[in-house]
Amino acid sequence: MKRSNRFGLVLALGLSLMAAVSPFELQLKEKDHKKIGDSLTIYYESVRTKKGVAKAKNDLQGVLDKFNQALSKKAKTEVDILSLTEDMTASFLWAGVSESRVTLGKIKEYTFETPFGPIECAIHAPKKYKASKGPVPLILSVPAEGQMLSQHLNEDWMLGDVRDNAIIATLQMPKNVDLWGKSSREPIGGLETIMFGLGEIIKMYSVDPDRIFLSGRGDGVEAAAYVASIFPSTFAGLLGRSGDLKETGPKNFGNMNAYFSGGGSNVTAFGESAAELGYKTVTIEPDGTIESAWQWISSHSRFANPAKVDFEIKSPYAAQAYWISAEGFDPEEEPVVSGEIDREKNVIVITANNIASVVLFLNDSLVDLDREVTVICNGVERKDKFTRSLTIALNQYYNSNDAGRVYTAFKSYDIPKIQEK
């Protein structure tokens, strides 16, 4: 699969219309999603080539307008397709999908060129994989120290059901194991290796954005856990196999599932701490096998638009979790932000410390954008009206390549200092 955008690293009517058109159920057919996806592809190609961008965008808007008219006629009330979460997600999934020449049914090694140097990668795609059939799960696995890439895939992942139903990839980590769970530019660190590698992989294949799993074996467990905690909204889950954690805690795993097999005392402590935080996202099976890991993968997917977010910011390069993005902070000061949405009341409550401001990225699965939204930041209340914007949706997808988290509105809010009682 080739995509016309890049990896940088959508939604409801008023309550009176909820019975007529739901933002959480598909209103269009697959052929309609593909039609919109084709128009999105043309638009992003025009952006890439810097030719005919205005015309491509106007043509896309024309396609959307026709669906607006059809949906409005059927619902007997005005409908904006940008308000329909599932339909927008399904349409963006088809943006840029095209068959590309990839090796199927056997392990193929690649070298990805990045701004910080080459990254070695090995990938196995199912023999029956076909981009036009729709997106498939991706397992991105960090090998144990000393494992060759193909060896890791053969020994740890080549089970029939996994092999036949998911794209499985592994990356050559830095020579210095101490850099695996860190960000570094010279030499390239584990964080950059994993995220740049992931960016290249999703350019090649039709990957389900809600089924991307990051796994680690041995020393790779801590590396995978660290990166997953930095980018919690990217992954559907973390898998740790036959390896213990070191420093990573469960704070950012409130909406991301985690599965551990063959872990040590730190994994046990991780699970206990997660439970104390009220998280029900951690599964520990000391004797877990490849089969049980695949069963877990098959039964979990990402919470793309959670109502509650707790985010402990650990890196200056990763300031966004789900629909909250932080600005003006020093990672050394342990900045934290929590957000909770009551969609029925259309209220967003933000609590933050050591952060100057936040940007809230919204869609109608989070709030009803046809109604006034109340935003409360550290106790200070503000009421706002939002206007859905195709431009915002297009830019967000272009920057993230994530069809599951396409937003149609955003606004910045200053964070006042918490008043001491």
Q: What is the dihedral of CA 270, 271, 275, 281, to 10 degrees?
A: 110
Residue 3 is predicted with a pLDDT of 41
Residues in the chain with pLDDT < 50? 1-21
Do 238 and 214 touch, CB atoms closer than 8 A?
yes
pTM as predicted: 0.91
Retrieve residue 415's tokens. Answer: 């964070």
CA distances from 356 to 139, 318, 376, 378, 413 (A): 36, 16, 15, 12, 9
Q: What would the pLDDT profile of 32-71 be if each residue is shown by its tens digit? A: 999 999 999 999 999 999 999 999 999 999 999 999 999 9
Range list of β-strands (E), 242-369: 257-261, 282-284, 308-312, 320-321, 324-327, 336-342, 347-353, 357-362
Per-residue pLDDT tens digits for 289-337: 999 999 999 999 999 999 999 999 998 889 999 999 999 999 999 999 9
Q: Which domains does the chain have, with CATH numbers?
A: 15-93 (no CATH), 107-298 (3.40.50.1820), 308-414 (no CATH)
Per-residue pLDDT of 69-79, as tens digits, reads: 999 999 999 99
